[in-house]
Structure 1
Amino acid sequence: MSMFDKVKRLGPGLVTGAADDDPSGIATYSQAGAQFGKSLMWTMTLCYPLMVAVQLASARVGRVTGRGLGNSLGKIMPRWLVILLIGLLFIANTINVGADLAAMGEASSLVVGGWTHGFTIFFAILSLLLQLFVPYHRYVNILKWLTLILFAYIALIFMVKVDWHAAATGLVIPTIVGAGAVTTVVAIFGTTISPYLFFWQAAQEVEDLDQSDEREPLKKKPTQAPDALSRIRWDTFVGMAVSSIVALAIILGTATTLHAAGKTDIQSAADAAQALKPVAGNLAFAVFSLGIIGTGLLAVPVLAGSSAYGICEIGGWNASLEHKPMRAKAFYAVITLGMLFGLAINWSPVSPMKALFWSAVINGVVAVPVLIGLMIVVSKQSIMGEFVASTSLKFFGWLATGVMGAAAVAMVVFPG
């Protein structure tokens, strides 16, 4: 198979990985680099195999069963617990949508000037219209092209003078100095392994099934398994690699510039962009700002969409970006409400950083039971048939669950 054919096979995994580096994630990675330099780069080395395992498990559930993650969780958990978890997912996602839209508005205002809230409203309307009126088979191509924006952050590290020896040390030697570093490590885990990504990738595998009359869930047509599972592995390994490399580029870029210059007080992605301007120049500032806007356009629909998939799966309602709004009223209603509530946060008296903190807390709480449920589902023969998870997938999946459980405990012990 040629490299061009391999690139064409990239889909849900690539989009999911790229959406992981949303403006809120950019803020977290920027804070890590600005405050602690290169010393926390090892977190991404640890996260990569865990991300791959969790997203492989999520994709496998969707492709094997032909159902989303919410539906599968409902087979092993009490209905009230699934409803609670997905309700909390909606709240956390909505806060993230609001924070991402605000960051996009701030970045646009920094670059071209103008009313920040005006840009925020524009991006919210643009994203909502695309989700409402562009069918999935076209919309997914838009999302795939938007992933190219992430290369702006990789370009950033070639604009500054990097100490590669120190970077390599930070990448492989775990270092934590003080409670502040512990909090940042927890934040990195929380923003990198987030529940909305599990629901989204499983749902996109189901969406892809519906795009072809020949494709069937693997439980019904196991002969399709070799090609399907090979494609999922390639897609997920590449998607999570893109996510991790970009996160490392942001940490390294801000460590080399902001940390070295003593600019450690970074409260948002837009703060990082603005702080870069006098330190690294106008080009670095423009590249960083462009990345915020592009990744926001990619991540906002993933956040809003994952909530809608989860809610509609447990409600038994139509859930597909391929359907027109009148065929999936509940699905698009949830997306619209998520966008509207997210916008409302920007006009509320709640501090954006405070809102993001509580979003991280909710994600940390939700991630653990969802991961436990996911690992039980993917290991259960009555659900997965002959396509239960391999030993290595179970090992890394349960390891990810343990790490997220430890992160949730650390969040309580080191709250700020």
Structure 2
Amino acid sequence: MTPPAETVETAATLANNDNNDKDSVLAKLGPGLITGAADDDPSGIATYSQAGAQFGFNMLWTILLTYPLMCGIQIVSARIGRVSGHGLASNIARHYPKWLLYFIVGSLLVANCINIGADLAAMGEASKLLLGGQAKWYAIVFGLISIVLQVFIPYQHYVRVLKWLTLALLAYVATVFVVRIPWGQVVLSTIIPHISMKAEYLTMIVAVFGTTISPYLFFWQASQEVEELRAKPEETALLKAPLQAIKSLRRINIDTFIGMGFSNMVAFFIMLTTAVTLHMHGQTEIQSSAQAAAALKPIAGEFAFLLFSLGIIGTGLLAIPVLAGSSAYAIAGSFKWKNSLEHTATQAREFYAVIAVSTVIGVILSLSNIDPIKALFWSAVINGVISVPVMVVMMLMAAKPAVMGQFVISRRLTILGWLATAMMGAAVVAMAFTV
């Protein structure tokens, strides 16, 4: 359903009359941009690097497919938050059985802790490559920095830090320009998919989908829409303020299309860089994102190595708060605790405790003897498996008037969201039958 004609007309008039700088494209970028950039964390970098090294250009087509699907499902999650004024966990708790809520949130917490540990280990190894010393101490420092930033810096200041950290991803775009690319072959491989039914190929597809379309991104973006409402007193949930619909939904679309485009572009370039360097030189086995960086040095040169390594650290600093934060939003929403980065640590003790504990568990995992590539890779696979039930519940909620009122999602967005869900489910089933 759509808002009444007079509501749309009034909202459009208000939007057109609002001539301040908030209407600029840059001002519209926030939850979607940060969510998209956080998707290319060290776990994602390792997965994309392994895909490029192992299969060359034959995995590039997956990025062309994930972009529209990722946009669709992330817009759904953002709209649920903006329309209802509540995060995903709070909405699931209100409208679905407790067992389903606990299964989803519990699975999310486990996957996120593994992901944080793997990311911190990768950041430590990248720092060791650049500066020397011991990787474990760097991992500990990065974990502590993440906790301090989230606990002690107010949301409006903190979100600016995260926006600037997204620039770290440009390192992977720049890397492409220091290696030679056979663009004709790249274009053909991208638009004409190479499909194999081998177990390792299908598992890699699930890993790519899992690191691109991940549950923590759904929870984070929905919650960040709620945070935006709390930070701006003039805005409120669309269920209570339908006049704000036109401007708010347009902003969500722009933010998400650009954010997910940025994310997928970077993923494409990481896969392309490792395909044209490592794969073409016979290095098809990558044990970590740091190893991918080190392997580039003798093939692509010092500059490519430096860019790749700095990118691992920068994206980790962006992704770890998103991973820990999404766990905190999910758990706090489940138990109706205060959950906002706008609150101080004393106002939302449980919320910040989850952030701190999740990060500390990640630090402990990063110091263990877990194989880093297995942790990174299988965290992506776990995310792929968990995504399916989460996406099903999201799609059902987005079409439910009890949740969305008159702002239930359109037929086009419904088709795109269910297509993303079906594609993720098919990839997981295919992997299960071949492993």
Shared fold per TM-score greater than 0.5 = yes
Aligned residue pair count = 415
SS in structure 2 opposite 1:254? helix
Q: Is 1:335 the counterpart of 2:355 in the alignment?
A: yes
Aligned counterparts of 1:304 and 1:250: Cα–Cα separation in 2? 25
Q: Which residue of 1 aligns with 2:37?
A: 18
SS in structure 1 opposite 2:389? helix
Aligned counterparts of 2:94 and 2:418: Cα–Cα separation in 1? 20
Q: Is the contact made by 1:40 and 1:176 (CA closer than 8 Å) also made in structure 2? A: no
Aligned counterparts of 1:191 and 1:302: Cα–Cα separation in 2? 14
Match of 2:389 among 362, 366, 369: 369
Amino acid at match of 1:38: F
Q: Which residue of 1 aligns with 2:8?
A: none
Q: Which residue of 1 aligns with 2:267?
A: 247
Q: Which residue of 1 aligns with 2:183?
A: 164
Q: Is the contact made by 1:257 and 1:276 (CA closer than 8 Å) also made in structure 2? A: yes
Moved more, 260-269 or 357-366: 357-366
Aligned counterparts of 1:115 and 1:347: Cα–Cα separation in 2? 11
Aligned counterparts of 2:252 and 2:300: Cα–Cα separation in 1? 39
**Runs of 4+ residues deviating >4 angstroms:** 1-4
Q: Which residue of 2 aligns with 1:116?
A: 135
Match of 2:157 among 118, 138, 147: 138
Q: Which residue of 2 aligns with 1:190?
A: 210
SS in structure 1 opposite 2:58? coil
- Could you report, residue by residue, the CA deviation over 1:148-204 in whole angstroms, capped at 9, with x for unpaired residues? 111110011111110111111121111123332222111101110000000000000
Amino acid at match of 1:194: S
- Could you report, residue by residue, the CA deviation over 1:72-116 in whole angstroms, capped at 9, with x for unpaired residues? 122332112111210110010000000001100100100111111
Aligned counterparts of 2:369 and 2:314: Cα–Cα separation in 1? 27
Q: Is the contact made by 1:361 and 1:411 (CA closer than 8 Å) also made in structure 2? A: no
Q: Which residue of 1 aligns with 2:310?
A: 290
- Could you report, residue by residue, the CA deviation over 1:197-231 in whole angstroms, capped at 9, with x for unpaired residues? 00000000000000111101001000000000000
Aligned counterparts of 2:22 and 2:335: Cα–Cα separation in 1? 41
Aligned counterparts of 1:382 and 1:308: Cα–Cα separation in 2? 25
Match of 2:105 among 86, 99, 120: 86
Q: 1:324 offset after TM fit, Å? A: 0.9
Aligned counterparts of 1:386 and 1:198: Cα–Cα separation in 2? 22
Q: 1:361 offset after TM fit, Å? A: 4.3
Q: Which residue of 2 aligns with 1:9?
A: 28
- Could you report, residue by residue, the CA deviation over 1:377-414 in whole angstroms, capped at 9, with x for unpaired residues? 11111210111101111001001111111122123223
SS in structure 1 opposite 2:180? coil
Q: 1:63 offset after TM fit, Å? A: 0.4
Q: Which residue of 2 aligns with 1:320?
A: 340
Q: Which residue of 1 aligns with 2:69?
A: 50
SS in structure 1 opposite 2:367? coil
Q: Is the contact made by 2:43 and 2:115 (CA closer than 8 Å) also made in structure 1? A: yes
Match of 2:195 among 168, 172, 176: 176
Provide the TM-score with structure 2 as the length reference: 0.93
Change (3 A) 1:113 1:90: same
Aligned counterparts of 1:280 and 1:414: Cα–Cα separation in 2? 36
Q: Which residue of 1 aligns with 2:6?
A: none
Provide the TM-score with structure 1 as the length reference: 0.97
Q: Is the contact made by 1:106 and 1:116 (CA closer than 8 Å) also made in structure 2? A: yes
Aligned counterparts of 1:88 and 1:209: Cα–Cα separation in 2? 28
Q: Is the contact made by 1:277 and 1:285 (CA closer than 8 Å) also made in structure 2? A: yes
Amino acid at match of 1:389: I
Q: Gapped runs of 5+ residues in structure 1?
A: none
Amino acid at match of 2:278: L
Aligned counterparts of 1:88 and 1:382: Cα–Cα separation in 2? 26
SS in structure 2 opposite 1:74? helix
Q: Is the contact made by 1:76 and 1:373 (CA closer than 8 Å) also made in structure 2? A: no
Q: 1:322 offset after TM fit, Å? A: 1.2
Q: Is the contact made by 1:273 and 1:289 (CA closer than 8 Å) also made in structure 2? A: yes
Amino acid at match of 1:233: N
Q: Which residue of 2 aligns with 1:126?
A: 145
Instruction: Show the 5 A alignment for 1:34-45.
Output: 34-45=53-64
Q: Which residue of 2 aligns with 1:95?
A: 114
Moved more, 170-179 or 5-14: 170-179
Q: Is 1:268 the counterpart of 2:280 in the alignment?
A: no
Identity of aligned residues (%): 55
Q: Which residue of 1 aligns with 2:254?
A: 234
Q: Is the contact made by 1:16 and 1:201 (CA closer than 8 Å) also made in structure 2? A: yes
Match of 1:201 among 221, 239, 245: 221
Report the RMSD for the aligned CA atoms in angstroms.
Answer: 1.4
SS in structure 1 opposite 2:346? helix
Q: 1:358 offset after TM fit, Å? A: 4.4
Q: Is 1:153 the counterpart of 2:172 in the alignment?
A: yes
Q: Is 1:30 the counterpart of 2:42 in the alignment?
A: no
Q: 1:362 offset after TM fit, Å? A: 3.2
Q: Is 1:220 the counterpart of 2:240 in the alignment?
A: yes
Q: Is the contact made by 2:46 and 2:373 (CA closer than 8 Å) also made in structure 1? A: no
